[in-house]
Chain A
Amino acid sequence: MSSERPVLVDADAMLGRHPRRAVGDGGVTAALLRMDRFGISEALVGHTMSWLHDPATGNRRLLELLAGQPRLSPCWVMLPDTCGEIGTPAAFVDAALASGVRAVRAYPADHGYDLGGADAAPVLDAVTEAGLPLLLDAAQISWPAVEAIATARPRLTIVVGEVGYRTLRQVAGVLARTDNVHLGLANLSSHCGLEWLAGRFGARRLVFGTGAPARDPAEAVTRLLWADLDDGTVAAIGAGNLRNLLCKESRAA
């Protein structure tokens, strides 16, 4: 088909140790070597310390690790501001934008709050205003909650990863009723689901991501490259769609 390799930009990668998987030291060098092995040009990365220890500490640690790493862009983890852990919503997004953070991830299930409730609303509003995409794993939130957040904030870009293979009935409904919900390719594993989703909702709703290192990047790379989609569509999913989302309306741009 194609004479040139598709460019791949990973929207779903992580640094740091993992307590339940043998994924190595989680360092920058390992991440770059892994990207080279799988032909991935750039990656949007978070840190497991933000997820499984303390978001504020992990977010700071992430910036330290990514200094001077042009292929890696930071993704911070948000919290509601009810306890003052990450500063006021305005201070959080101001610091994020000033630090080159390109997206924000939320773990409402693991961090014990309701992303669609009143507690998280001020932070979500600030993230929306800043033009930062919101990344979520499907296990962290219900699809009705995703839809409610997306409908309440039509300018907020939401990317849901780790969709698996059991939820197309719910996913399709939410994609049909919203315009700002997107899906990541990490563990997007329904048989022919990628082609079905691209055909039904448009390829712009799909964003390449690996879920590395907990998930093997071979899955998403092989799924995309051997997809029954034309080269232009693969290029869009592989890199173009994410770049468009990251550039859109960012207050820092």
Chain B
Amino acid sequence: MNPLLSALWARRPQRSLRIVDAHAHSGPYSLFFIPDAGPEGMIKVMDRCGVAHAVLSSHLAIQLDAATGNAATAAAVAHAPDRFTGYLTVNPWQDPLAELGKWGDDPRFGGIKLHPDLHDYPLTGKRYAPVWEFAQRTGCPVLTHTYDGSRYNDLGHVGEVATRHPRVVILAGHSGATPLGFDTAIEVAQRHPGVVLELCGSYNSGADVARMVREVGAGRVVFGSDFPFIDLRMSLGRVLFCDLSDDDRAAVLGGTMTDLLQWRGNAGRSRPGPFAESA
């Protein structure tokens, strides 16, 4: 039995590898009640399981107010910089240039978060142009929400922006979110080396995770949980139990995302992640 499952069955935190959650949020959300949704409650869950780090965007930023919400994200990271890195949320209706200008150089942020479904704006729209320009210039990864069949962030939209911006790392949040979406996400990732599949959602399974790794490689699949939107342990369990080699599981659970976060100071030089070998 691998040490992760040994720790789980013993009901103690795992300590065998560095787990990084590539898709997290923080704070309350109006549509439903979330117990203990703040950074302290999140760290408690991370400590319970042995999750070292999480990359988060505040719910306030994605749901209502990017400016105030990005400040909340920065505050959460400042509160526990060894446990959290921020995603800078860009809302296409709320001055993307200002947000990128204000926070783009702030080391508390390690990626950009887009949520086209919540903002009723397509991933391919012009208002996102500053995001792609920034990501192209710096190597900053971009996490976008995806959902199979969405008019705003279907996998076809991901493929289109990946074609336009082939040097940008695009994390496909939820990998399309449905069984059909997973198939499509794999196809898009196979066509576009910059597309990385992120695993959180309600319809994923360990079999889907293993298939993604077989099809696109562990260097392009990252564990994410969506916590505290969804409990972290749901997605983590799928990766713990699924049929992967130890090396692949370590890459999915944290190795790949750790590399993707090392972009600051690398502009113009060799880039980590999907482009590491070709750069």
Which residues of A are in contact with B by a Cβ distance under 8 Å?
1-3, 5-6, 20-22, 37-39, 164-169, 172, 187, 189-196, 215-223, 225-228, 231, 234
Q: Are A191 and B36 in contact (CB under 8 A)?
A: yes
Of the candidate stretches B26-34, B98-106, B153-161, the one touching chain A is B26-34
Give the contacting residue for B205; candidates A164, A165, A216; CB below 8 A.
Answer: A216
Task: Known A1-B12, A2-B10, A187-B202; judge A22-B35 contact (CB<8 A).
Answer: no
Please state if A228 and B44 are interface contacts (CB–CB under 8 Å).
yes
- The answer, yes or no, to whether B75 is at the interface (CB within 8 Å) is no
Pick the contact of A223: B33, B36, B233 (CB < 8 A). B233
| A13–chain B nearest beta-carbon distance, Å | 15
A219-B234 in contact (CB<8A): yes
Contact A223 B41 (CB under 8 A): no
- Complex Cα distance, B41 from A2, in Å, reads 23
Q: Judge whether A192 and B228 touch: CB under 8 Å.
A: yes
- The one of B31, B41, B240 that contacts A218, using a Cβ cutoff of 8 Å: B240
Choose from A189, A191, A217 the contact partner of B202 (Cβ within 8 Å).
Answer: A189
A-B pairs with the 6 shortest C-beta distances? A222-B237, A191-B228, A1-B11, A218-B237, A218-B241, A196-B35
18 extra interface residue pairs, beta carbon distance < 8 Å, beyond A190-B33, A218-B206: A1-B11, A21-B179, A165-B32, A165-B34, A165-B231, A172-B33, A187-B202, A189-B230, A190-B231, A192-B35, A193-B231, A195-B35, A196-B36, A216-B205, A216-B241, A218-B240, A219-B234, A225-B9
A5 and B10 alpha carbons, distance in the complex (Å): 7
Q: What residue in chain B is nearest A166 (Cβ atoms)?
A: B32
Taking the closest CB of chain A, its distance from the CB of B178, in whole angstroms, is: 10
Complex interface: chain A residues within 8 A of B44 (CB)? 228
Chain A residue contacts of B37, Cβ below 8 A: 191
Contacts of A222 in B (CB 8 A): 8, 233-234, 236-237, 240-241
Please, could you name 29 A-B residue pairs with CB atoms under 8 Å apart, sorted by A? Answer: A3-B10, A20-B179, A21-B179, A39-B9, A164-B202, A165-B32, A165-B34, A165-B202, A165-B230, A166-B32, A168-B32, A189-B231, A190-B32, A190-B231, A191-B34, A191-B41, A191-B231, A192-B228, A194-B231, A195-B35, A196-B36, A219-B234, A219-B238, A222-B234, A222-B237, A223-B234, A226-B233, A228-B48, A234-B11
Q: How far is the CB of B208 from chain A (nearest CB, A)?
A: 9
B230 CB contacts on chain A under 8 angstroms? 165, 189-191
| A193→B231 CA distance, assembly (Å) | 8
The answer to whether A189 and B234 touch across the interface, beta carbons within 8 angstroms, is yes
Q: In the complex where A22-B207, A191-B34, A191-B228 touch, is A5 in contact with B9 (Cβ < 8 A)?
A: yes
> Chain B residues in contact with chain A, CB under 8 A?
8-12, 31-37, 41, 44-45, 48-49, 179, 202, 204-207, 227-234, 236-238, 240-242
- For B10, give its contact among A1, A216, A219, A221 (CB under 8 Å): A1
Which B residues lie within 8 Å of A217 (CB)?
Answer: 241
Which of A169, A187, A218, A223 touches B32 (beta carbons < 8 Å)? A169
In the bound complex, how far is the Cα of B238 from the Cα of A234, in angstroms? 20
Which residues of chain B are within 8 angstroms of A225 by Cβ–Cβ distance?
8-9, 11
Contact A167 B11 (CB under 8 A): no
Is B45 in contact with A223, judged by CB distance below 8 angstroms? no
Q: What's the Cα separation between A228 and B242 when bound, in Å? A: 23
Whether A192 touches B206, Cβ cut-off 8 Å, given contacts A1-B10, A226-B49, is no
A191 touches B237 (CB 8 A): no
Complex interface: chain A residues within 8 A of B229 (CB): 165, 191
Measured CA separation A154–B37 after assembly (Å): 34
Task: Give A218 to B227 CA distance when docked, in angstroms.
Answer: 17
CB distance from A233 to the nearest CB of B (A): 11
User: Are B231 and A218 in contact, with the CB atoms below 8 A?
Assistant: no
| In contact, B11 and A231 (Cβ under 8 angstroms) | yes
Nearest A residue (CB) for B12: A1
Q: How far is B8's CA from A172's CA once the two chains are assembled, in angstroms?
A: 29
Residues in A with CB closer than 8 Å to B207 are: 22, 216
Q: Within 8 Å CB of A226, what residues of B?
A: 8, 11, 48-49, 233
- Which residues of the partner chain B approach A195 to less than 8 Å between Cβ atoms? 35
Q: CA–CA, A6 to B9, complex, Å?
A: 8
Known interface pairs A168-B32, A191-B232, A226-B8; A218-B179 also in contact (CB < 8 Å): no
CA distance A241 to B203 in the complex (A): 27
A234 to B12, CA, bound (A): 13
Cβ–Cβ < 8 Å partners of B8 in chain A: 221-222, 225-226
CB–CB B35/A221 < 8 A: no
Rounded to whole angstroms, the CA-CA distance of A96 and B27 in the bound complex is: 48
Give Cα distance in the complex from A102 to B249, angstroms. 39
Contacts of A164 in B (CB 8 A): 202
Complex: how many Å from CA A191 to CA B31?
Answer: 14
- Give CA–CA (A218, B206) in the complex, Å: 8
> Beyond A222-B8, A222-B236, is A192–B202 a contact (Cβ under 8 Å)?
no
Query: Which of A166, A192, A220 interacts with B31 by CB under 8 Å?
Result: A166
